[in-house]
A and B are shown apart, each in its own frame.
Chain A
Amino acid sequence: MPVRGTPSRFLKSVLHNGVGRYVCQLKRISIIFSKNAQSSLGVRDFIEEGVVDYAKKNPGTVVYVSPQSCRIPRIVAEYLNGNVREEIITSKTAPQISELLSKLTNQSGLDVIRIRKPFHTDSPSIQGQWHPFTNRPPSIGPIRPHKQAAP
């Protein structure tokens, strides 16, 4: 699939995030795992040790832990702009899961698609945008090259 066939967006932030204070964009994390399956072994270890520290470190994020009988353990992350991201954590170890969680915390909820430009400004020109008549002295008559032979 060529690059222009894939969706793309411009670089932006959710509600001018850095201008005033910085707000963590992660709203809610739900960890869905099973109590007895082998695939959620790492998740169970992580819930024993790391979940409480994570929740204390990120006071703006709500952490839900729900043991269900499911074959595949998941993490469902919801962001402030409404996007929902689901990650599958089958057979991952506890440090890998905490790394994944920190990655999700640092993201904002915008789509992970091609970003067209690596910059974004609301005021692109301060001294005035250039047009062919800036810094050009007005002249009467046609404009010709100087007839000076360079020695």
Chain B
Amino acid sequence: VKMAVSRGLPGLWRTCSLLFPRHPLLFPGITRTQSSVSGDLLPRTSLSRPPWAEQTSLVPAEEEQSRHAAVVSAVNQRISRQDFGRLFAVVQFAGRQWKVTDEDLILIENHIEADCGERIRMEKVLLVGAEEFTLVGRPLLGKELVRVEATVIEKTESWPKVHMRFWKRHRFQRKKIIIQPQTVLRINSIELAPRLT
């Protein structure tokens, strides 16, 4: 049974397993249902909890916090020393999300208001990763943290696509040739700021 993507409802369990949320720009609010019974927010059904037993962590809270702090400091050190190789980023652009590295090409199905050869900065970055660590935004990463730059290479038109409608036995057919404007972007660089908060 496929569940719809939840946006933070506490009773539904298919939340954190999805890496790229389907609606990254909506604020993940917590909705409360009106129930006269205090305690459970939603009725308990066969799908309101996962089939495996809920595992409380075997580690006490302070040790878990110290482990988290160690991980954060390790990642901070790597970033301040610029000790990573190639970076990839997940960027929201033109209504789609792209997983992007340096020197790769992207085709957008509309014209952008920049001329050929101009440099563009992509601001909506959801995730940045290197080989050893990843930074996941909630839902976006800060603009002082990541910088993704691209160049407009080409502004063409698509190949002539045939849009035909035909109803049989009704003598109805319409044919239309659709040519869409296209832009090709080349991602020049992805940069990480030397300090995290």
Chain A window 20-40, contacts with chain B (Cβ cutoff 8 Å), 1 for yes, 0 for no = 001011000000000000000
User: Contact between B153 and A22 (Cβ–Cβ < 8 Å)?
Assistant: yes
* Number of A-B residue pairs at CB separation under 8 A: 93
Q: Is A136 interfacial (CB-CB < 8 Å)?
A: no
From the candidates B88, B103, B157, B185, name the one contacting A16 in the complex (CB within 8 A).
B103
Give chain B interface residues in 141-172, CB to chain A under 8 Å: 150-151, 153-159
- B90-114: CB near A (< 8 Å → 1, else 0) gives 0000000010010111111100000
A121 at the interface (CB under 8 A from B): yes
The verdict on A59 contacting chain B, using a C-beta distance below 8 Å, is no
Q: How far is A55 from B193 in the complex, measured between Cα atoms in Å?
A: 42
Find residues 42-77 in chain B having any chain A CB closer than 8 Å to their own CB.
49-53
B156: which of A19, A112, A118, A123 is its contact (CB, 8 Å)? A112
Q: Are A112 and B157 in contact (CB under 8 A)?
A: yes
Interface residues of B, CB < 8 Å — how many?
37
B151 touches A11 (CB 8 A): no
Q: How far is the CA of A6 from the CA of B107 in the complex (A)?
A: 20
The interface residues of chain A, by DSSP majority, are classed as loop
For B134, list chain A residues within 8 Å (CB).
127
Q: Are B156 and A18 in contact (CB under 8 A)?
A: no
Residue of A nearest to B94 (CB): A118
Q: A126 and B153: CB pair below 8 A? A: no
Interface flags, B109-133, vs A, CB<8A=1, else 0: 1000000110000000000011100
Name B155's contact: one of A106, A126, A146, A148 (CB within 8 Å). A106
Q: How far is the CB of A148 from chain B (nearest CB, A)?
A: 5
Q: Which of A12, A106, A112, A120 has the most CB of B within 10 A?
A: A106
- What is the CB-to-nearest-CB distance from B196 to chain A, in angstroms, rounded to a whole number? 19
Residue of B107, B117, B154, B157 with most chain A CB atoms under a 10 A cut-off: B154
Looking across the interface, which residue of chain B has its beta carbon closest to that of A18? Answer: B186
Across the two chains, which residue of chain A brings its CB closest to B150?
A18
**Across the interface, do B107 and A24 meet the contact criterion of CB distance under 8 Å?**
no
Q: A144: shortest Cβ distance to chain B, in Å?
A: 14
Known: A22-B117, A119-B104, A126-B85. 17 other contacts (CB 8 A): A11-B107, A13-B184, A17-B154, A18-B151, A19-B186, A103-B156, A103-B157, A106-B116, A106-B155, A107-B154, A108-B184, A112-B156, A115-B159, A118-B109, A119-B105, A120-B104, A150-B50
Binding site for A on B (CB under 8 A): 49-53, 85-88, 98, 101, 103-109, 116-117, 129-131, 134, 150-151, 153-159, 184-186, 188
